[in-house]
């Protein structure tokens, strides 16, 4: 059995593993349970009562966090020359087409989000085996395949996140940083939760939200009462 470090012991003394916290209580504890030397992410895990193997119970969507994620998002825009200036003005980190397609074929994927336009998806489709496993493949449902390139880049930079339920029925994403105030964490968590609720599949039976946990990078998770997201 691994020995507990001094920091880990101090963290465990501050929390009650048997307790279900309110959202405000959990948000206030995020700084206290983080022992990293960097500005750790604040993560949320929502276990849903769905069967992801069934297409009509797949939960996937986007949410725009009011306070962003606190992370610098590297955006690649694959577009035709007439859209390059628009992408650059909106803050895209990389803009182009064929040269970046060749780089990706060579193994380069040093970006967080790829945005493109419908007319060039034919070229990008061949990159599916590279981008798919890295969750970088542009998708109209997530707003990353669009003619409104400038708006898409701006939204991603401001805190738009793309999420989907995994094979275990859990949706996991980051909703901020430990440096955020508790109020900002609460606002972001509520926005994400409300989006999850709106996406409830018609075919989902029984309890939809089974459990919610808040944690920071490498910290224990705090169980949070779902009803407190509506307060």
Domains of the chain: 18-69+160-230 (3.30.190.20), 75-157 (3.40.50.790)
pLDDT for 4 equals: 59
Average pLDDT value over all residues in the chain: 92
Torsion over CA: 105, 108, 114, 117 (sign): negative
pLDDT for 1 equals: 41
Q: What pTM was computed for the model? A: 0.79
Average pLDDT over residues 103-125: 95
Mention every residue, 6+ apart, whose C-beta is less than 8 A from residue 134.
Answer: 109
Name the E strands within the chain: 41-48, 60-64, 75-78, 94-96, 113-116, 160-164, 170-177, 209-216, 222-224
Do the beta carbons of residue 127 and residue 137 sit within 8 Å? yes
Do the beta carbons of residue 41 and residue 142 sit within 8 Å? no
**Phi, psi for residue 191 in degrees, rounded to 5:** -65, -45
pLDDT for 3 equals: 57
């Amino acid at each position: 059995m691994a020995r507990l470090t001094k920091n880990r012991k101090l963290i465990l003394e501050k929390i009650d593993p048997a307790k279900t916290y309110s959202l405000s209580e959990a948000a206030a504890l995020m700084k206290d349970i983080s022992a990293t030397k960097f500005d750790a992410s604040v993560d949320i895990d929502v276990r849903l009562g769905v069967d992801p193997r069934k297409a009509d119970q797949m939960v996937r969507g986007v949410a725009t966090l009011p306070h962003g994620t606190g992370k610098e998002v590297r955006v690649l825009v694959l577009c035709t020359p007439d859209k390059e200036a628009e992408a650059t003005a909106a803050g895209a980190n990389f803009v182009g087409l064929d040269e970046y397609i060749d780089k990706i074929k060579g193994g380069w994927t040093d970006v967080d989000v790829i945005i493109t336009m419908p007319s060039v998806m034919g070229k990008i489709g061949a990159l599916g085996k590279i981008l798919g496993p890295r969750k970088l493949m542009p998708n109209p449902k997530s707003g990353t395949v669009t003619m409104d390139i400038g708006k898409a880049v701006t939204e991603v930079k401001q805190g738009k996140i793309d999420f989907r339920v995994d094979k275990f029925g859990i949706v996991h994403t980051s909703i901020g940083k430990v440096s955020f105030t508790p109020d900002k964490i609460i606002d972001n968590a509520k926005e994400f939760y409300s989006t999850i609720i709106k996406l409830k599949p018609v075919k989902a039976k029984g309890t939809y939200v089974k459990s919610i946990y808040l944690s920071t990078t490498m910290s224990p998770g705090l169980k949070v009462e779902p009803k407190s997201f509506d307060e």
